[in-house]
Amino acid sequence: MGVTIRDVARIAKVSISTVSRVLNDKCNVSEDKRVRVERAARDLGYIPNPAAQSLHSSRTGSLGVLLPFVSGEFYAEFLNGVDKTAQNGDWLLMISTSHNSEDELRAALKGMYRRVDGLLIMAPNITAESVLMQPHDDIPVVFVNTRCEDEAISLITFDNHGGMREMTRHLIATGHTRIGFIRGPVLAFDAAERERGYRDAHREAGLTVNEELIVPGKYSQQSGHDGAVRLLGMDPRPTAIMASNDDSAIGALSAIREAGLDVPSDVALTGFDDVPSARFTVPPLSTVHVPVRELGARSIEVLMECIKTGQISRLPHQTMDVELRIRKST
């Protein structure tokens, strides 16, 4: 079917060993044959068969990326960083989603067996430890934003707890005491951390958390909308609403406006993540900036580094800083 190394050898009138040498080592081959081989390869449009290369070298040239979802600005930005960095390093990306299901994660993992040289896994509602056994015992794995206590596992996170605590402090400092909180998914590690930040800031300020003000959410715009509707229906209603991420803040914003209220004069509103849209809401959203793209880039850098040095993930856990972006919604 395709053109193989034999074809090149035949046209160049040399052995396939020589062709391979020219195309790889570039040493110990006469000038004469080198040009013949290079010319034949170019004329035929020869590209080595990656399956054969991989079979021999057990390298694939691909990285596996496993995310909970692929839609939404957060993941899109993350992928942006991942993609750019991988492309620079000349790696191909194999991408799959788990929908936060451990079974799907395992299935994807199995599907990528021997198809990738390293794995990047984001699984906020599964522990890294529970996933890591399984077939991939001999390639580096880097976890991102995942619950993980084992220091021997490579992990990169950002400060979910600290970011939300800071933001809560900011609201308390500007006089709010009745602050609604729209949670993230029940099982998500990062959602729990964010809620913990909300609680800790209250405690530090000597305020007790009114459990009624914490309503469920799913990080989606729709769930943020619904959560805000619920909070606004309370009497007295909260003077501020903290959404667990920007998407739900955007949903909450539309609910607040539908109720005929103004942000921030009637209700202050905050998000988390600082997705690109957060700058362009009306009013611009005060939120916790997470370096999402850099997070993706860094994760791939670490993974590439592990592969290069042959390490099966023994890097210290890294936590990326977040910072408040106070705009006009508070």
Partner DNA sequence: TAGTTTCATGAAAACCTTTTCATGAACCTG
Partner DNA sequence: CAGGTTCATGAAAAGGTTTTCATGAAACTA
- Using CB under 8 A, list all residues that contact a second copy: 1-2, 45, 47, 49-52, 54-55, 58, 60-62, 69-73, 75-77, 79-80, 83, 87, 90, 92-97, 110-115, 135, 138, 221, 225, 250-251, 253-254, 257, 276-277, 279-284
- Minimum CB separation of residue 1 from DNA in Å reads 6
Output DSSP code: residue 279.
Answer: G
- Residue 303 parent element (H or E): helix 292-309
Pick between residue 29 and residue 320 the one whose CB is nearest to DNA.
29
- Minimum CB separation of residue 300 from DNA in Å reads 25
How many Å is the maximal CA-CA distance in the chain? 89
Pick between residue 53 and residue 309 the one whose CB is nearest to a second copy.
53
> φ, ψ for residue 288 (rounded to 5)?
-100, 115
- Minimum CB separation of residue 52 from DNA in Å reads 3
Distance CA 5, CA 253 (A): 61
Residues that bind DNA (CB under 7 A): 1-2, 4-6, 14-18, 20-21, 23-25, 27-30, 32-33, 46, 48-49, 52-53, 55-58
- Minimum CB separation of residue 132 from a second copy in Å reads 14
- Answer yes or no: are the C-beta atoms of 125 and 277 closer than 8 Å: no
Q: Which does 191 bind (CB under 5 to 8 A by kind): DNA, a second copy, none?
A: none
Distance CA 51, CA 30 (A): 29
- Minimum CB separation of residue 196 from a second copy in Å reads 27
Q: Which does 17 bind (CB under 5 to 8 A by kind): DNA, a second copy, none?
A: DNA
Kindly state the tokens that stand for 189.
């590690």
- Answer yes or no: are the C-beta atoms of 330 and 171 closer than 8 Å: yes
Q: Which does 79 bind (CB under 5 to 8 A by kind): a second copy, DNA, none?
A: a second copy
Pick between residue 14 and residue 292 the one whose CB is nearest to DNA.
14
Pick between residue 111 and residue 174 the one whose CB is nearest to a second copy.
111
Pick between residue 47 and residue 133 the one whose CB is nearest to DNA.
47
Quote helix, strand, coil % in the chain, to nearest 5.
45, 15, 40
Distance CA 306, CA 319 (A): 18
Distance CA 288, CA 278 (A): 10
Which residue in 249, 181, 177 sits closest to 214, CA to CA?
Answer: 181
